[in-house]
């Protein structure tokens, strides 16, 4: 009987927990920024095709107090032999309990813009979505991400890409693809297995 009461008490506690119980603003802001970068790489790879010879380098700013972030592709880089630029600016909306960001980019003469959002719940698990528009077509990356609280800047997730019927390979969805990211010593890596 005591075991049953304990189980009910735990279930009730979990039910009334706030939307974000893992309250480390640094960890959540860092993970959100890294997910934004990962989503950018997924849709760039799907829309334009892979470029295994290219490593894209970003400069980034993170403010865990104001829960804001930004990143900018380092100048002078190319992807598939074309000049590429990309920038993203994001912040936390306390009223909505979510991060939101805007994206703008260009590869050669093709430019795109977009928005993204991330909501973190529990210990924490995130729902991360990005939508970009390029040439009148809409592309989406959706993910469910689990942060590993014992390792700052490490998470695993599943990523799905969806494009228009006229997009590369058809509308999709493509995936889900498993992915892992890690941030250590000022270096970030994200791997998605497609």
Tens digit of each residue's pLDDT (9 = 90 or more) over 45-64: 889 998 988 888 889 999 99
Do residues 168 and 188 touch, judged by C-beta distance below 8 A? no
- Calpha distance 72→178 (Å, rounded): 25
pLDDT above 90 as % of the chain: 55
> For residue 121, how many other CB atoms are within 10 A of its CB?
15
Do residues 43 and 130 touch, judged by C-beta distance below 8 A? yes
Average pLDDT, the chain: 83
The pTM assigned to this predicted structure is 0.82
Short-list 22, 44, 67, 28, CA closest to 139: 44
Tens digit of each residue's pLDDT (9 = 90 or more) over 49-103: 989 888 888 899 999 999 999 999 999 999 999 999 999 999 999 999 999 999 9
> For residue 186, how many other CB atoms are within 10 A of its CB?
5
What is residue 10's predicted lDDT score, i.e. its pLDDT? Answer: 28
Tens digit of each residue's pLDDT (9 = 90 or more) over 9-38: 222 222 233 344 455 888 899 889 989 998
More confident residue, 104 or 187: 104
Peptide bond into 10 cis (omega under 30): no
pLDDT over threshold 90, residue 144: yes
Q: CB-based burial of residue 125 (10 Å sphere; 0-12 exposed, 13-18 middle, 19+ buried)?
A: middle
98's CB contacts (< 8 A; 6+ apart) are 92, 117, 118, 119
- Calpha distance 97→129 (Å, rounded): 15
Can you list the positions of beta strands (E) in 22-173?
Answer: 58-63, 68-73, 78-79, 82-93, 98-107, 110-121, 125-134, 137-147, 154-162
Do residues 112 and 131 touch, judged by C-beta distance below 8 A? no
Do residues 150 and 138 touch, judged by C-beta distance below 8 A? no
- The structure tokens 């493509």 sit at 174
């Amino acid at each position: 009987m005591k075991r049953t009461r304990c189980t009910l008490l735990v279930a009730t506690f979990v039910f009334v927990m706030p939307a974000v119980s893992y309250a480390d603003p640094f960890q959540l802001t860092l993970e959100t920024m890294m997910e934004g970068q990962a989503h950018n790489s997924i849709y760039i790879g799907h829309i334009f095709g892979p470029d295994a010879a290219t490593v894209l380098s970003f400069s980034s700013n993170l403010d865990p107090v104001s829960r804001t972030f930004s990143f900018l592709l380092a100048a002078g880089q190319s992807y598939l032999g074309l000049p590429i630029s990309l920038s993203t600016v994001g912040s936390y909306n306390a009223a909505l309990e979510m991060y939101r960001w805007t994206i703008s980019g260009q590869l050669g003469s093709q430019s795109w813009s977009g928005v993204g959002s991330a909501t973190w719940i529990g210990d924490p698990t995130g729902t991360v979505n990005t939508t970009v528009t390029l040439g009148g077509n809409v592309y989406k990356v959706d993910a469910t991400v689990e942060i590993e609280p014992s390792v700052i800047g490490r998470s695993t997730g599943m990523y799905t890409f969806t494009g228009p019927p006229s997009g590369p390979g058809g509308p999709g969805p493509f995936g889900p693809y498993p992915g892992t990211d890690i941030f250590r010593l000022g270096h970030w890596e994200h791997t998605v297995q497609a």
